[in-house]
Structure 1
């Protein structure tokens, strides 16, 4: 770390760690690479959005059946992958005061890596601990270890020593520092910007149940990046290189060739073989006038059977399944704000925001006029339609204290075929908190396992 270039490269390495499949120098499970435990699909295959295709390779089958365990990479993989990202961020912070970079340059680099660190800790705490709004006792329940230093030789003294609320406070502190110091302009949205930090804060505050801060940070994000993605550009942000309405994405390229979409399907002999397909009832909840239906799905035949395939991550015109990952979009911020406005008593503004999304998704479009519970239901429904297969559904159900209720439909395009074995997961189940990997506990015996494992 003896030059500004070295700091830039190390910071870029923290971003890259979100997608690379490489832990401890050997193959491992990452955030988005590979087809087991990828966060591109885990938040949906554990819910009512996806159905396992029995003609696939049975990847992630145990997780889809709620068979979570501490030695299964499907739910345990995020743990190591996220702390790998955090370690790379903390490596930069370890050297940040060595005098090589100073002033605004130093502050902006520190802002980037602290925001990256906050993002990874947030993904950990919402997966492996309770969410503050999930239940009355959630905020004071056991959180996660918040890693703030780089020490690869540390073999003890690591414990889940914070409550959920305390972890959220640290996440917010890192993001607030980033907000006050970041100085990045990134046309490809592959680096965090002030607009992205505001958007991330709107997400964190929504999970925390602090709706006034959801609104205030959301307003700032929209002021800097107001587009929710126009209807004319909507297909392009998934199938081409458009970043309209994207606040932050994990970059991917043909040279890197990280096949993030392989968790959903592969193309064999010109036919699509899916690991998971969209649930029949959910598929039919998309109107024919909704641009998302034709963008997200393709109905096709494989080995003589017809499926409704999820093609959201299939291609941007190059190598199959090699696409950028949209970590945060302005549309999510709008849904965060609409829900927050509703819950603070401003239904009129909630409806305006909801309609701003619907106006860019449906054609023809007539503005909605819902009020009361019907309005809140519409916000939740449109959020599900918009953020499907973006790692949102599991956590939305969890933060709202709701269970999973699947449709009972099968894996074929007409709803017949093999339905998921497990159809329900009660809101009270301990499985909403994923198990800490057994390997992590063996390395750090002070880490407490979650209840039920």
Structure 2
């Protein structure tokens, strides 16, 4: 039998027979050619292995490249983005709701996510080998379990129903929850309901929140505030609004800034971490071009794959700092577009920027929505105004707090969420968890709304396509993995 060897540097290369579309023999290669047991006999190896799990979030299917990247998928398949004929046609099938089990546009996340989970579980496998003890051991376990939970959540919201999506969603088929390091497992199945998967995610996150001690300055590693924020996200999707508020407020107490208006552009263009809870680090040396999914910059201007929907673009007020931070209006080949330049660069290599996975602004919106649905309209309005005060207004015309009540307040929370989290992997999942259809504007790609509208304009709320297909190669390798309905 081949001896497993491990690379302890930026990542651990793992073939996941049961989960992914790869059927290679397990081979963890190393420049040191060390057996994994020997490599994990040093305390520093645990830190390096955990960093490898974070690094794998830049793999294809998560945040690299232009096909199936989560940097764009939630907007391409919803009503935020419009395909530009000037682009190369990337992600076109997905944007037209043509999801299939042999197309990486909607299956790539499944492969990439289980790979990351396996790397987190690899760390957990060696925690009892006597190398780490006390708080160091607890912190390593907490961080690994937080990564594992975070990524399982990404899988379950994409490939299963969301508890609030429909009356029967909680009891519907979930995903396999991989809680041990076993990359050659060929017997795993989707043996949990949706709510059971959520409970496993929550268990991991609560353990992590109680035991993690690190506070990484560059926000490239999970810390207590970020884990509280993740809990607020998971509980919102589960429909447990008191818990959404509880953990959201713990997050906001630990990291209160909603990103000041003066720093907001710098979050996207100058690597500021004001209001950032967790980000996937990136650098010119790594060269992971996350922004290429939207556009490429040439001397002739931005050539966009997708541009912001005309109606969405015009929903931003003229004094909204997000409008200039997220978008650039410019010509390409004689036509003017509203380009999505949120990830275009920060003064370095084009399209190479850290990915903001979780920000305090989202947590505030989670709590505002949960407070409204719990009957505390005062809390909901105060949080909404706190966020809006850092996005709107000028020196000569300061922001005037809103006074919405009733349904108008809830709609304002939903609208602010769309404006704030546009092109941050949120819109599709917000519509899905609310049980709403996709209804596109019917406008074209040019800055004045003319041009070529999307071929498909609507997706019904009860469509089976809200649950993406499991990769066919994963099912061929392990027939115990059940395919979703409609594929």
Shift of 1:39: 0.3
Q: Which residue of 2 aligns with 1:379?
A: 413
Whether 1:417 aligns to 2:447 is no
The aligned counterpart of 2:432 is 398
What residue ranges of structure 1 are gaps of 5+ in the alignment?
Answer: 21-28
Partner-residue secondary structure (3-state), 2:482: coil
Q: For residue 6 of structure 2, what is the aligned residue in structure 1?
A: none
Structure 2 unaligned segments of length 5 or more: list them: 1-39
What residue is the counterpart of 1:147 in the other structure? 178
1:232 matched to 2:262 = yes
Of the three residues 108, 113, 131, the one matched with 1:82 is 113
Q: TM-score, normalised by structure 1?
A: 0.97
Residues 303 and 332 in structure 2, CA contact (< 8 A), matched pair in contact too = yes
Aligned to 1:340: 370
Partner of 1:8: 47
Shift of 1:150: 1.3
Q: Secondary structure at the match of 1:17?
A: helix
Q: How does 1:260-299 map to 2 (within 5 A)?
A: 260-299=290-329
Map of 2:22 onto structure 1: none
In 1, the alpha carbon distance for the partners of 2:142 and 2:107 equals 29
- The list of structure 1 runs, each at least 4 consecutive aligned residues, that deviate by more than 4 angstroms after superposition, is none
- Contact 2:336–2:446 under 8 Å retained in 1: yes
Which of 177, 189, 196 is the equivalent residue of 1:166? Answer: 196
Asked if structure 1 preserves the Cα contact closer than 8 Å seen for 2:78 and 2:438, the reply is yes
Q: How far apart are residue 345 of structure 1 and its match?
A: 0.4
Q: Is the 8 A contact 2:61 2:110 kept in 1?
A: no
Confirm whether residue 258 of structure 1 aligns to residue 288 of structure 2: yes
Answering whether residue 57 of structure 2 is matched by residue 18 of structure 1, we say yes
92, 95, 106: which is aligned to 2:137?
106
1:153, distance to aligned residue in structure 2 (A)? 2.5
Residue 179 (structure 1) aligns with: 209
Q: In structure 2, how many angstroms separate the alpha carbons of the residues matched to 1:163 and 1:81? A: 22
User: What SS does the corresponding residue of 1:340 show, helix, strand or coil?
Assistant: helix
Q: Distance in 1 between matches of 2:72 and 2:375?
A: 34
Query: Aligned partners of 2:178, 2:473: CA distance in 1, in Å?
Result: 18
State the Cα deviation string for residues 149-173 of structure 1 (Å, max 9, x = none).
Answer: 112232x211000000000000000
The CA RMSD over aligned residues, in Å, is 0.7
For the residues of structure 2 that align with 1:152 and 1:161, how far apart are their CA atoms? 18
Question: Residue 444 of structure 2 aligns to a residue in which SS?
Answer: coil
Measured in 2, the distance between the counterparts of 1:173 and 1:235 equals 36
What TM-score, normalized by structure 2, do the two folds share? 0.91
The residue aligned with 2:164 is: 133
- The number of residue pairs the alignment matches comes to 444
> Quick one: distance in 1 between partners of 2:300 and 2:358?
32
Deviation at 1:270, TM superposition (A): 4.6
What do residues 98-127 of structure 1 show as CA deviations (whole Å, max 9, x unaligned)? 111111001101111100000110000000
Alignment match, 2:485: 451
Partners of 1:365 and 1:11 in 2: CA distance: 43
CA-to-aligned-CA distance 1:339-387 (integer Å, 9 cap, x gap): 0000010101100000001000001311100000000000000000000
Q: Deviation at 1:95?
A: 0.9
Is 1:193 matched up with 2:193?
Answer: no
In 1, Cα distance between equivalents of 2:347 and 2:319: 25
Partner of 2:357: 327
Q: CA shift at 1:184, angstroms?
A: 0.5
> What is the distance in 1 between the residues matched to 2:358 and 2:121?
23
Alignment of 1:293-372 (within 5 A): 293-363=323-393, 364-372=398-406
C-alpha deviations, 1:400-445, integer Å up to 9, x for none? Answer: 0000000000011111000000000000000000000101101110
Q: Tell me, what secondary structure is at the counterpart of 1:67?
A: coil
